[in-house]
Structure 1
Amino acid sequence: MHLAVDGRGLPMSVILTPGQAGDNPQLLPLLDQVAVGRDGPGGPGNVRGGCWPTRPNSHPSTRTALRHRKIAFTSPERSDQIARRAAKGSRGGRPPAFDTGLYADRNVVERCFNRLKQFRALATRYAKRAAYYRTEIIIAAIVLWLRTGLQDTA
């Protein structure tokens, strides 16, 4: 399960893939599914702000794609990428910016996974078909959004 969450830890987009599928190829399609409302005229836009994926997603092509979308990317560099850049010498360029304080906010995603696992059908995966399981995830996400909405008004 690949999940995009907002700053409050509420799910905004989900993609299901087989267990052996990598995380990096799913990042951009996951972000394409997110539409964020904007203040003022115009319809919803794409993700603006930041993206805090895991270390495997820190591929240079991913960084470039997010830079073109004007999305701030905060993830540590993998050791092989550091070595490749060092081997190039001065042509390797500067290391990408990494803010440990911002990266610490990544726990919001983990907390969202934990909140979704509180739903028994999701934690034990009663649904065997991917379409049914994704439907259960969406229903659980709606419940989480409604709970937050009720807490905000109280």
Structure 2
Amino acid sequence: MWARLEPLMPADPVRGRRWADHRRTLEAITWHRTNSPWRDPPDELGSFQTAHERLIRWVVDGTWEAILGAVLAAADADDDIDWTVSVNSTVVRAHQHAAGARKKGAVRPGEPTDHALGRSRGGLSTKVHLAADGRTRPLALTVTAGQADDAPAFDNGMSRIRVPRSGPGRPRTRPFAVPADRACSPRAIRIHLRRRGIRGVIPQPSDQIGHRQRRGRRDGRPSGFDREVYKQRNTVERCINRLEQWHGPATRTDKLALAHQAALHLASILARTRR
């Protein structure tokens, strides 16, 4: 795995101090998949401040997304991506240590003002919106507050699917089909997929079917639904289960949404690199 990741690591800066050993720092970050406190890594993994600062810095400057993009580009060149992309979300319970971040003033570039923390019946939580290919491996993800609805985050999640080409050409952004559950059934999402030439495989709730029948011809043609393609929606559920085998992403303890999202990106990179 390191042989595949080493060429993707950032080069040392031209001026200033050299980076600490990338491999040891990556091992230190990965060690926290157990959800242990940041101050508790073994001495042989180096300073915990180095590991935590590197985690945050690389999500702010886009390094984690760039590494994931390079891994996805290699997989696409090997025809190792199934472009029937399923989307879904999962709610992650926030530990009490995740609370207490600054509410006013800029903390980090790209950090949401609510730190992607929301309060619902279960308490503080964060929602992870995930897009997975037909082989149960992640393509793109984003985080929002736990009480956020799936429909408003759908467009943002789809826009994050960008797989660079191994040669010339624009990144690939359009799946063949998108199976999703009833939470993604609003007309705006169907129109969004239709305009982009993406086949949406989304069941309609009974109330939407009743409204369409009452409007008759004014509502246009009924949306198509392929039951066989919809059976592949379980791939995103299995992908979520695989990511949540990391105890860190499964229970949020980081105060910053950027740190939690970076951990999810790293888990996605390693899940791809193992193949």
Normalising to structure 1: TM-score of the pair? 0.88
Aligned residue type for 1:36 = V
Matched, 1:110 2:237: yes
2:37 counterpart residue number? none
Query: 1: distance between equivalents of 2:166 and 2:181?
Result: 30
Q: Which runs of at least 4 in structure 1 moved beyond 4 Å after TM superposition?
A: 37-41
Say whether the 8 Å CA contact 1:13–1:33 is kept in structure 2.
yes
1:98 counterpart residue number? 225
Quote how far apart the aligned CAs of 1:92 are: 2.9
Q: Which has the larger radius of gyration?
A: 2
> 1:17 is paired with a residue of what secondary structure?
strand
Question: Higher strand proportion, which one?
Answer: 2
Query: 2: distance between equivalents of 1:142 and 1:113?
Result: 14
Matched, 1:147 2:241: no
Say whether the 8 Å CA contact 1:3–1:13 is kept in structure 2.
yes
Aligned residue type for 2:201 = T
Query: 2: distance between equivalents of 1:49 and 1:70?
Result: 8
Query: 1: distance between equivalents of 2:132 and 2:149?
Result: 19
Residues 3-152 of structure 1 aligned to structure 2 (within 5 Å): 3-37=130-164, 41-148=168-275
For these two proteins, the number of residue pairs brought into alignment is 148
Identity of aligned residues (%): 39
Quote how far apart the aligned CAs of 1:29 are: 1.3
Say whether the 8 Å CA contact 1:9–1:111 is kept in structure 2.
yes
Cα shift readout 1:4-29 (whole Å, capped 9, x = no counterpart): 11221111111100011110111111
How has the CA–CA distance of structure 1 residues 39 and 48 changed in structure 2, closer, same or farther, with 3 Å as cutoff? farther
Query: 2: distance between equivalents of 1:16 and 1:84?
Result: 33
Consecutive unaligned residues in structure 1, runs of 5 or more: 149-154
Aligned residue type for 1:60 = R
Query: 2: distance between equivalents of 1:130 and 1:62?
Result: 26
Query: 1: distance between equivalents of 2:216 and 2:159?
Result: 36
More divergent stretch after superposition (40-49 vs 54-63):
40-49
Relative contact order higher in (CA < 8 Å, ≥ 6 apart): 2
C-alpha root-mean-square deviation of aligned residues, in Å? Answer: 1.6
Cα shift readout 1:98-146 (whole Å, capped 9, x = no counterpart): 0111111000000000000101111222323211111110111111011
Aligned residue type for 1:10 = R
